[in-house]
Amino acid sequence: MHELSIAEAIVDAVKEQMIENAGSTLKMLNICVGELAGVEVESLRFVMGVILEEEGFKDTEFTIRVKTAALVCSACGEKLPASRIGEICPECGEWNMKLTGDRAVTLESMEIEDEDQP
C-alpha cells in the first residue's frame, strides 16, 4: 500500500526532528501531496492518523494539501487543468500541451511547541 509507506516515511522524518527537539510537543504537521503522486488523500489521512497514534503523537494534528497539476501550452503558455490531457490548445490550436506538476509528497512544515513556554 503506497500511502502506508509514504506515511511511514513522513513519520520517520518527524521522529528524527523530535529527537533533536527533545522535550517539545509536536502540535501540527503540514503535508503537501503533488496531484501526480498517485496518492489517495483520504487513505493517506487515515494511515497518517494511525501511525501518528502508534508512534506516540496522538495529539498531533495534521493537514494535507494537494498541489494541483496543470497542462501548459508550449506555444502560447495557455494553462488547462490536468484532466484535459490529450486536447489541443484552445487558445492557439497547437497540440503542444505539456503536463507540469509534482509527483512528490513532502512534509512542508511542522509546528513544535516548546514545553518551557506557556
Continuous segment of H or E residues that includes residue 110: strand 105-114
Q: Is 39 left (phi over 0), alpha (psi -120 to 50) or beta?
A: beta
- The partner residues of 34 in beta bridges, in order of sequence, read 67
Q: C-alpha cell of 111?
A: 509546528
Of 75 and 107, the one with the shorter C-beta distance to Zn ion is 75
Of 9 and 92, the one with the shorter C-beta distance to Zn ion is 92
Contact positions vs Zn ion (CB under 5 A): 73, 75-76, 78, 89, 91-92, 94
Which residue is listed with cell 526532528?
A: 17
Of 28 and 92, the one with the shorter C-beta distance to Zn ion is 92
Of 48 and 97, the one with the shorter C-beta distance to Zn ion is 97
- The least distance separating Zn ion from the CB of residue 103, rounded to whole angstroms, comes to 24
- The least distance separating Zn ion from the CB of residue 70, rounded to whole angstroms, comes to 13
The whole-angstrom distance between residue 1's C-alpha and the CA centroid of its chain comes to 17
Query: Which sign does the torsion angle of CA 44, 50, 54, 58 carry?
Result: positive
- The least distance separating Zn ion from the CB of residue 80, rounded to whole angstroms, comes to 9
- The least distance separating Zn ion from the CB of residue 97, rounded to whole angstroms, comes to 8
